[in-house]
Structures are given as C-alpha cells and as structure tokens.
Amino acid sequence: MTSWQKRPAQMHRHLPGKGQPLDLHGYFHADPEQRVAGRLMRDNDILPQPLQDRRDAEIHREQVSALIETTRLELSVRRFNIEQLGACLSPSEPQTDTPVYMS
C-alpha cells in the first residue's frame, strides 16, 4: 500500500476544484517541445529572455537611482564645505589699517 492510499479519504474532500473537469485546453495545444522547455524553465527558475531583460533593466535603474542620490548628497556636502571655506577666506569688512601703495 502506498503512502497516499494510507491517508484518510477525508483529506481529499476539501480540495479546490473537486468534481470539476480540468482545463487542459491550452496545455495540449502547445507543442511538446514547448511544454518540455516551459517545464524545465519553471523547475529551474529561469525566465524567458524578454522578461529577464526587463528584470535586469529594473535592477539597473534602481542601482542608478541610488547612485544619483548618493552623488547628490556628496555634492551638497562639498558645496557646503566650499561655502564655509569661502566665508573664512573672504573678509566680511574691508581692512582699513592696511596701507595701500599707489605707484
């Protein structure tokens, strides 16, 4: 006796779609090679090339967006530092005690 035969019959009473015919219309209209290829791709978590390209593009777009945001933050910090240094280097009031030589 197999393991599925040992299970109580009550377990099979509540299966979804019990008593309804299976819809295999699309399955049998596909070529056998396509069914095998689709099964292999599903079993190995492989996407068709157009879908894989779309996924790769989305990943790259997210990476570029993160890089742009990081670069903007770094540039704003550098701009702030330059403004602070500029404020320290330029005198706020003209110095009057420095002699001006005219030739």
3-state secondary structure labels for all residues of 72-93: HHHHHHHHHHHHHHHHHHCCCC
Q: What is the predicted pLDDT for the residue at 42?
A: 87
When pLDDT is averaged across residues 17-32 and rounded to a whole number, the result is 77
Q: Are 18 and 12 in contact (CB under 8 A)?
A: yes
Instruction: Burial-class residue 37 by CB neighbours within 10 Å (0-12, 13-18, 19+).
Output: middle
Residue 54 has pLDDT above 60, yes or no: yes
Q: What is the pTM of this model?
A: 0.47
What is the number of other CB atoms lying within 10 angstroms of the CB of residue 47?
13
Q: Tell which wins on pLDDT, 103 or 44.
A: 44
Residue 33 has pLDDT above 60, yes or no: yes
